Amino acid sequence: MLLNDTTIDKHFKPEILKKISAGIMTKKLAQTIASNQFDVDKVYVERAWKFLDNTERHMLLVYHLQVYSVAEISRLLMELGGEWSKLSDNKSRHKEEISIDVNGHNERLLLQLQKKGFITSYQEKNDRKKRCFEVWVKQQ
């Protein structure tokens, strides 16, 4: 309850979370971590990943991608599946068109991927048939 409380400053929430062992992760706690933006140790993010469905995993990455290395991101995108798995191959620089909803969460995840150096750029592409993003995956 304290982690979801909006009256508690997000800077105090990591200390509250540390009072709970990552080993006793529940689906409800995993959902709380996925839907809140505060600093979380990687062990909690990794445990939460195992309890979440793809929509919740997407949100987990939106808010907590910074705990992962570029090498780990490839695996996570593959596990996330769907259009996101197209970005997982980073053996060479290449352009991918991913047909995902143009919304704040998808754009935010793309921005996080760019900040981490996993992709070099992305832009919205509209043509008569579909709306998508053109994404340049960076060679690692």
Residues of the chain with pLDDT under 50: none
Instruction: Give, rounded to a whole angstrom, the gap between the first and last alpha carbons of the chain.
Output: 41
CA distances from 102 to 74, 81, 87, 99 (A): 22, 18, 17, 9
Token pair for 11: 């800077």
Task: Please tell me the predicted confidence (pLDDT) of residue 125.
Answer: 84
Report the alpha-carbon distance of residue 138 to residue 140 in Å, rounded. 6
pLDDT tens for 54-90 read 999 999 999 999 999 998 999 999 999 999 999 999 8
Report the alpha-carbon distance of residue 28 to residue 25 in Å, rounded. 8
Report the alpha-carbon distance of residue 30 to residue 22 in Å, rounded. 10
